Amino acid sequence: MGVLTTVSAAAKAALTIGGIGKLTFIPLMLAAMAYFNYDLLDPENRPFNQKYLREEYDFIIVGGGSAGSVLANRLTEIEGWNVLLLEAGGHENDISDVPLLSLYLHKSKLDWKYRTEPQDSACQAMIDTRCSWTKGKVLGGSSVLNTMLYIRGNKRDFDQWESFGNPGWGYDDVLPYFKKSEDQRNPYLAKNTKHHSVGGYLTVQDAPYNTPIGAAFLQAGEETGYDIIDVNGAQQTGYAWYQFTMRRGTRCSTAKAFLRPVRLRQNLHISLFSHVTKVLIDQEKKRAYGVEFIRDTEKQVIYAKREVILSAGAIASPQLLMLSGVGPASHLKEVGINVIYDSPGVGRNLQDHIAVGGIVFQVDYPISLVMNRLVNINSALRYAVTENGPLTSSIGLEVVAFINTKYANATEDWPDIEFMMTSASIPSDGGTQVKKAHGITDEFYEEMFGHISNRDVFGIFPMMLRPKSRGFIKLRSKNPLEYPIMIHNYLTHPDDVGVLREGVKAALAVGETKAMKRLGARFNDKPVPNCKHLPLYTDEYWDCYIRQYTMTIYHLSCTAKMGPSSDPMAVVDPQLRVYGVEGLRVIDASIMPAVTNGNINAPVIMIAEKGSDLIKETWLPKTNKRKRRSLKCSKIEQLFSRSNSLNTKCMVDR
């Protein structure tokens, strides 16, 4: 079965990009599979979609994404707790497993396909001047659609969270939760046991496939005075190979990592295609007691004995809070919703990482990822048999750099720009899927990139790490199926414009290094539409430039922020309990007080790991926890009584 599925995935990958109509190569691939005795799939199958649900569960988790999958795993470790996980989407598919094809999932049925309101400050090259906010509508959430980058952030991020009045969220407190999930497959990195671990559910590995451009990036970094580092180690400033949430060359989503291994637990029910529309809250007691959701076009109600946990992401979690009567009172009254608790911070403080698209350099040699050249039956076979080749590349992402602009204090190791450095770029697929995923207009693409479609290029995407601009989300109406109003407010703070402008200049400087010039690097210097009236390469030109091809990196966060009770805009307390309502928590990217310094999937998983322990601390008295530990150890000791290698200090959690 695993062989057939691998063949299917590899074949679909080739067909998706190459457009090949006949599967005459299937017998050859089957023979190769049998010869290599190859099975790419995990030994576990997909979790069950529970047909018949109980009337009541101890815990109801809303959203089976990066946080919800972790919570479902950890809470069902307690045998006496029954847990229901509700997910609006379905299962991931074969195409989502293939790293190279992540952009082909954008605007697919696995994507909520959110779009922001038009604004003049950014996204001027996008259709209708609206930014596309891709969010996973699938079990595993955005970990099924993302580029699998494993970046924890900077230790100062978490120390800052703690300084905002959130005890227990400093770097030393959260590092064990990062390590708890991790199964680091790079033996060199795994030796650093202070920062890494092995044996966790989440597989982290280096990319199986890199081009010569990746090595040149690292040489360019050294040439410009930066160290080669482990970005998840002691120092963040510098250049490094990316680390990915991959397993044997395929995507390791949180559904694959955390749910498949526990699919047979009798106390875990997963309900797919279940769109939650409201949290049920007792008006007098101010306590959450269940949820209302739509499944198979029918409205259903399920009750929660202990808690309802919102893990629906930074858009849907605040939307659900407001639909349930928790949010800014004036706004809720405006759309006709009964106010349960006036929480002015719900939907506010929205933060995101944005980058500048279009920083593209041509090279003289056929060494980059050009889709119509490298993605073919041979690469599909290589992917299936050797777990290697172009299909294992995460859309060309090879090297990451954390650098300082003139606005950062270089002595603090808290860089303000991240370079996402790729051996491909916008025109590498001939103007098909990348253009569609980013939502840029045909006219902009043709004028800027039409002349270099399917040419050998590399790209540098400067991403601003600590934005000062703040967006917000509010309800369009009280109809739960109507998408909320999403205001990005990108680049509305002048400091953000300055940082991103300097990031663009630094990216151009990389292209001028000897390391990149050896490849014939030359910047695609086509003047940007709407900015032609400005002198090229002046600050005014770059300020205009960054407002055109403004790329979200899909790190939406901070819309239900964690904070002390003295902060009127805090939505949850440091135990992630919603202020004003008992039995209700938010555990996802929404609770970040400030977005972390890097890609956010790893921090979201950490938040869920810590959040699950906070729930256990609430409901499991310490005496019971000690008793549970001794019981588990005794079982292990019975199983391994003949083994003299048993460590009697048994671990409760994996």
Q: What's the pLDDT tens digit per position in 572-588?
A: 999 999 999 999 999 99
Specify the pLDDT at position 623. Answer: 57
User: What pLDDT, in 10s, does the model give residues 156-177?
Assistant: 999 999 999 999 999 999 999 9
Specify the pLDDT at position 469. Answer: 98
Confidence grade of residue 374 (pLDDT, cut at 50, 70, 90):
confident
**Model confidence at 215: pLDDT above 80:** yes
Query: Phi and psi at residue 58, in whole multiples of 5°?
Result: -65, -45
Specify the pLDDT at position 621. Answer: 82
Q: Distance between CA 554 and CA 572 in Å, rounded?
A: 23
Look at phi and psi of residue 140 and say left if phi exceeds 0, alpha if psi is from -120 to 50, else beta. left
Question: Is residue 8 within 8 Å of residue 26, measured between CB atoms?
Answer: no
Question: Is residue 273 within 8 Å of residue 295, measured between CB atoms?
Answer: yes
Confidence grade of residue 94 (pLDDT, cut at 50, 70, 90):
confident
Mean pLDDT (the chain) is 91
Specify the pLDDT at position 132. Answer: 97
Q: Cα angle vertex 599, ends 596, 603, to 5°? A: 60
Cβ neighbours of residue 25 closer than 8 Å, sequence gap 6 or more: 11, 377, 380, 381
User: What pLDDT, in 10s, does the model give residues 261-310?
Assistant: 999 999 999 999 999 999 999 999 999 999 999 999 999 999 999 999 99
- Which pair of structure tokens corresponds to residue 450? 């039409």
User: What pLDDT, in 10s, does the model give residues 46-62?
Assistant: 999 999 999 999 999 99
Cβ neighbours of residue 498 closer than 8 Å, sequence gap 6 or more: 407
Tell me the H-state helices in 164-298.
171-181, 187-190, 212-223, 254
The pTM is what? 0.91
Strand pairing class (354-356; 550-552): antiparallel
**Catalytic residue positions?**
555
Question: Is residue 312 within 8 Å of residue 63, measured between CB atoms?
Answer: yes
Mean pLDDT of 406-419: 96
Mean pLDDT of 67-83: 98
Specify the pLDDT at position 314. Answer: 98
User: What pLDDT, in 10s, does the model give residues 237-261?
Assistant: 999 999 999 999 999 999 999 999 9
Specify the pLDDT at position 629. Answer: 43
Specify the pLDDT at position 551. Answer: 96
User: What's the first-to-final CA gap in the chain, in angstroms?
Assistant: 28
Confidence grade of residue 45 (pLDDT, cut at 50, 70, 90):
confident
Question: Is residue 74 within 8 Å of residue 123, measured between CB atoms?
Answer: no
b/e 417-426 (16+ beta carbons within 10 angstroms → b): bbbbbbbbbb
- DSSP class of residue 158 equals H
Specify the pLDDT at position 44. Answer: 67
Question: Is residue 562 within 8 Å of residue 574, measured between CB atoms?
Answer: yes
Q: Distance between CA 14 and CA 251 in Å, rounded?
A: 17
Instruction: Show the beta-strand stretches assigned E in 75-139.
Output: 83-86, 114-115, 132-133
User: What pLDDT, in 10s, does the model give residues 188-209?
Assistant: 999 999 999 999 999 999 999 9
> Coil, helix or strand for 468?
coil
Specify the pLDDT at position 10. Answer: 53
Q: Distance between CA 453 and CA 431 in Å, rounded?
A: 7
Question: Is residue 454 within 8 Å of residue 372, measured between CB atoms?
Answer: yes
Cβ neighbours of residue 179 closer than 8 Å, sequence gap 6 or more: 195, 196, 197, 200
- Which pair of structure tokens corresponds to residue 265? 């637990």
Beta bridge partners of 485: 474
